[in-house]
Chains A and B, each alone.
Chain A
Amino acid sequence: MRKFMGGAGAAAAVALVAAATVARAEDYPARDISVVVVWAAGGGTDTVNRLIAAEMQQHLPARINVVNRTGGVGGSAGMSFVYGQPADGYTLAGISESNVTAGVQGGWDQRFEVWQPFIVGGSPDLVSVSANAPYQTLKELIEAAKAKPGEIRVGASAAGSIHHLNLLALEKGTGAKFNYIPYDGSAPAQNAAVSGEVAVVVTSLAEQQQLIRAKRLRPLAMLTPNAVSVEGIGDVPSAFADFPDLKEHLPIQQAIGFAVRADAPDAVKKTLTDAFDKAVQSDKVKGWAAQNFYEISGKSGEAAREEFQRLEGLFAWTLHELGAATVSPEKLGIPKPAK
C-alpha cells in the first residue's frame, strides 16, 4: 500500500515537473536566475556582480541569486560548470578579464568565444610609489629604473594577472626594467608598498584609492589615456603624456561582468541585454562606480565579444611568451594580437 502510494506520488511529481519545465524562451525568465561568480566572495568580480544582479532583478520578473564557484585554472571550475548547464539563460557566469587565461593554462579546452559577455566595467590601472620613495613623477621613476636596470622592486598581483600585464606593457613602452615581485592579490601588493618592501606598485585605482587618500601611497601616473582626478590629491596625469610609446601597448583594462552561453536563444539574450542596459544606467550603479573609480563600460553584444577577443589574444600570447602557458595559443586557434 505504502509503495503504491509512493508510486502514485512520484507519478504526480513527474507530471508537475514536466508541466513546470516546459518553458519557452519567450517566457524567459520563468524561474530564478543564478549568477555563478567564478572568483571568491568579496572580491571585485563578486561585488560588481552582486550589485548588477540586484539592479537587474528590478527589471525582470525573477530573482537573480549570486553564488561563488571557485577553483580550477583561471576560474575554469565555475566556467566549466556553467558551460555544462543548458543554454537557457538560467545559469550565468560572473567573470572578469582574467578568465581568458583558462584555455592556455590548461583549465579547459574552449576559447572564450563560447560566451556572450556583458561588461559592466572596470577600474583603470595606475603606477604608485610608497609615500617615502624619492620619485615624484613617472619620469623620475623611469630614469632611475634605467640607471639601475632590474633593481627597483615593483609589486603586483600574481604572474599573468592583469596588473602584471600592465607592468610588462609599462616596461615595453618605456624601455625600463624593473624587479617584479609577485603577490597573492592586489591588496598584499599594496600593503607591501606601504610597508616599504617594494617601492612601486601597479594595481587598479579602485583598489588603491583609500591608500592614496590616506597619503600612504603616492600616485605617479594612470596607465590609461586620460588623467583622473582624485579628491584631496588632485589630478593623476596619464603616463601617455610623457611616454607616447605606451599607446602601442596600453591600455589594458579590466572587464568585469557576467556571461551567458553564446548559443543561448536570441530572445534570452535580448531580455538580458534590456535589463542589463537599464541596470547600468541606474543611479545606484552610476553612483557606486563614481565613488569607487570604476569606469562603466556597459558593453554587450558584438562589442563585448570583440573586447574579450582582444583580451584573450593579449593574455594568451603574453603568457606564451613568458613561458607560462601550458597550452600553446596557436593550438587553441587564438590569433596573435596585432601590434
Chain B
Amino acid sequence: MEQIITLILLAVVGFAIIMYVVLDGFDLGIGILFPFANEHDRDLMMGSIIPVWDGNETWLVLGAATLYGGFPLAYSTLLPTLYLPLFLMLLALVFRGIAFEFRHYAHKSRAVWNIAFAAGSTIAAFCQGLVLGTFVQGYTDGNGIIQVSNYNPISAFSLLTGLAVVAGYALLGSTWLIRKTEGKLQEHMYQRAQYLVVIVILFSLIVTLWTPLIDPGIKAKWFSAPTLFYLIPLPIIGAIAAWTLWYSVQTKRFERAPFWLTIIIFLCSYIGFALSMWPYIIPRAVTVWQAAAPLKSQIFILVGVAIVLPVIVAYTIYSYIVFRGKVNIEHGSHY
C-alpha cells in the first residue's frame, strides 16, 4: 500500500513534468522559430500563445513543488548539482516571460524584446536539454556518493540532448502554429515542420542509442528479455507516429494531426526515459523509495492533488476552448 501511494505521487510529478514539456514546449518552440519570421507573422505567433503561456509555465513550478513535497531528498540534492544550467534556464525564462508584455507596449524597442523572446526561449530549451543530459549521466564518484563540486554540465552527451530539446520544441511550436494559423504563415510552418521532423528523428535515434552506452543498467533493461518486450512498443509507436507526422506535413492536408502526433513522439520518448531511469530518482545513487517523504506527508499532498488537480485540468481546458480557432491580430492584443 505504501509503495502504491509513493508510485501515485511519482506519477503526479511525472504528469506535471510532461504537461510542462508539452505545453511550455510549444511556447518555447514559437520563441525558437521567432527569428525566422517577419514582424507581421511574429505578432500572430505570439498572439497564438499569449493568453495561455502563463498557465503553461506554472506546470514547471508544480513539477518543482511536487518533486520537493513528495521527494525532498531528490529536490534538495538534484537542484544544487544542476546549479548553473538551472539558473541560466531561469534567467532565460525571465527574459522571455517579460517579453510578452513589454513587446506589446514597445514601439522603438520592439527589436530588443524580439531578441529577448527568441534568445530566452532558445536558451531555456537548450538548458532543459543540458539538465536532462547531466541528469542521465549522473554525478556519482562510483561509490554512490554524490559529488556536487565536481559535476560538469557540459559534455558531448548533454550538448546533444540540449540541441535535441531545442529541435523537439521547435517541432512542437511549428505544429501548434499549423493548427492555429492559416495562409502563408501556415504554409511556412508546414515547411519548417518537414525539416524539423527529420532532425528530431535523427536526434532521437542518437540519444536512444547513446544512453545505454552510458549506463549498463539501462543497457541491460533494453537489450534483454523480458523487459525488452515491455519496452519495445514505445520505439515502435514512436516510429509510426514519426512517419505519420512526416506524411501529414508533406501532404499539408491535415491541420490538427501534426500537433498531436508530435505529442505522441514526446510521450514515447518521455515514458521510455522514465522507465530507463527506474527505480532511481537520482541515477545510480538514490531510489524513488529512498527519496520519498514520510507516508503521511505523501497522503497529505495526494489529498490536495486529488481534489484540486482535476479542477485545474478542467479550467485549463476551458481556457483553451475560449481561445480556440485561428489566431488573428486582434486576438493577441488587449484591445
Are A and B genuine complex partners? Answer: no
Residues of B within 8 A of A (CB): none
